């Protein structure tokens, strides 16, 4: 639902080749990834971005909620690098703090989605039979539910809580993950080492968590990288509508919303958060593409 069709296809193709390549695949993949300039540059930028949003606010002159009534809508200057907003708050610090929230929601949301999706898919694929059919049927039904609308409903009715947003966003995105992992598990199920574990009396749950899940981690890694930017987008979408993080806390989506309202008088309030967000999304996409190419032996 949240990823592109082509990515899913590529992930599936990669998965078909996974077993044959064995262990050396990881080293191969690493070498191929390092050769991919766009992906490597993106990775460096992302690392700098993460370090910046974590550490730079600590050394800044202002905090994200310092208001200054004598400095409303100030253009960028040496004192306020990115200018100030309508309450005179320093936009440089706010952009960084907003980045912290956006990235955190992105990563945590992806984590929730990956966790649910992997376990659901692995369980469904491993147990098989009627359980599998029912679980897949449930998945198909959930695919048709307009989740974005349900999340909006959820957030308005149960309060605008950041934890709730993580969970809600993560809960939308696990469907694709579950499908991919199930496909993987089906091919793993008939492997000898799984049968051996089964014969020696290991419980189903242990087999799933100890043997199946570690073996599908490769795809999960690729998919998570592609999931993070779409999580960030979803969070911004909610914040833009005023349903995400609440004042004085902020995120890129919330900053964009404020910026779009004052762009006639203070265009920098829109430009700086927008640039940060777009650069981040760009980099995540390139790293994801790079990982996919590196792990897809067919493309060599």
- Chain residues binding another protein by CB under 8 A are 1, 4-6, 140-142, 144-146, 148-150, 152-154, 156-158, 229, 233, 236-237, 240-241, 243, 253, 256-257, 259-260, 263-264, 267, 270, 274, 277-278, 281-282, 285
Specify the residue, 1 or 79, whose C-beta has the smaller distance to another protein.
1
CB of 154 to another protein, least distance (A): 7
The H-assigned helical ranges of 36-88 are: 37-59
Q: How far apart are CA 253 and CA 281, in angstroms?
A: 13
Specify the residue, 185 or 285, whose C-beta has the smaller distance to another protein.
285
Specify the residue, 154 or 167, whose C-beta has the smaller distance to another protein.
154
State yes or no: cis peptide before 248, omega within 30 of 0: yes
Strand partners, 84: 90
Specify the residue, 25 or 165, whose C-beta has the smaller distance to another protein.
165
Specify the residue, 53 or 281, whose C-beta has the smaller distance to another protein.
281
Specify the residue, 5 or 300, whose C-beta has the smaller distance to another protein.
5
Q: How far apart are CA 15 and CA 4, in angstroms?
A: 17
CB of 217 to another protein, least distance (A): 26
Whether 12 and 183 have beta carbons less than 8 Å apart is answered as yes
Q: How far apart are CA 206 and CA 83, in angstroms?
A: 55
CB of 41 to another protein, least distance (A): 14
Instruction: Phi first, then psi: give them for residue 264, nearest 5 degrees.
Output: -65, -35
Q: How far apart are CA 269 and CA 76, in angstroms?
A: 10
Whether 171 and 116 have beta carbons less than 8 Å apart is answered as yes
CB of 168 to another protein, least distance (A): 11
Whether 122 and 212 have beta carbons less than 8 Å apart is answered as yes
SS3 assignment, position 84:
strand
Query: Inter-axis angle of helices 217-240 and 162-189, to 10 degrees?
Result: 150
CB of 95 to another protein, least distance (A): 14
CB of 122 to another protein, least distance (A): 24
């Amino acid at each position: 639902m949240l990823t592109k069709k082509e990515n899913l296809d590529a992930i599936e193709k990669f998965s078909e080749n996974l077993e044959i390549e064995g262990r050396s695949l990881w080293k191969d993949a690493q070498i191929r990834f390092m050769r991919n300039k766009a992906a490597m540059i993106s990775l460096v930028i992302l690392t700098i971005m993460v370090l910046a949003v974590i550490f730079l606010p600590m050394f800044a002159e202002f905090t994200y909620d310092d208001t200054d009534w004598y400095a409303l809508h100030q253009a960028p200057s040496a004192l306020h690098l990115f200018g100030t907003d309508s309450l005179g708050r320093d936009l440089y610090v706010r952009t960084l703090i907003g980045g912290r929230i956006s990235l955190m929601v992105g990563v945590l949301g992806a984590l929730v989605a990956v966790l649910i999706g992997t376990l659901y898919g692995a369980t469904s694929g491993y147990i098989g039979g009627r359980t599998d059919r029912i679980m897949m049927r449930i998945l198909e039904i959930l695919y048709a539910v307009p989740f974005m609308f349900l999340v909006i409903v959820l957030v308005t009715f149960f309060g605008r809580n950041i934890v709730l947003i993580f969970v809600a966003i993560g809960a939308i995105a696990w469907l694709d993950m579950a499908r991919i992992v199930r496909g993987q598990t089906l091919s793993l199920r008939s492997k000898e080492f799984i049968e051996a574990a089964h014969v020696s009396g290991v419980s189903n749950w242990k087999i799933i968590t100890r043997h199946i899940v570690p073996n599908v981690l490769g795809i999960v890694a690729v998919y998570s990288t592609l999931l993070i930017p779409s999580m960030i987008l979803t969070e911004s979408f909610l914040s833009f509508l005023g349903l995400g993080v609440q004042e004085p806390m902020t995120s890129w989506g919330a900053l964009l919303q404020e910026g779009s309202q004052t762009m006639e008088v203070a265009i920098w309030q829109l430009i700086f958060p927008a640039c940060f967000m777009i650069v981040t999304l760009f980099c995540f996409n390139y790293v994801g593409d790079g990982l996919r190419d590196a792990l897809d032996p067919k493309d060599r």
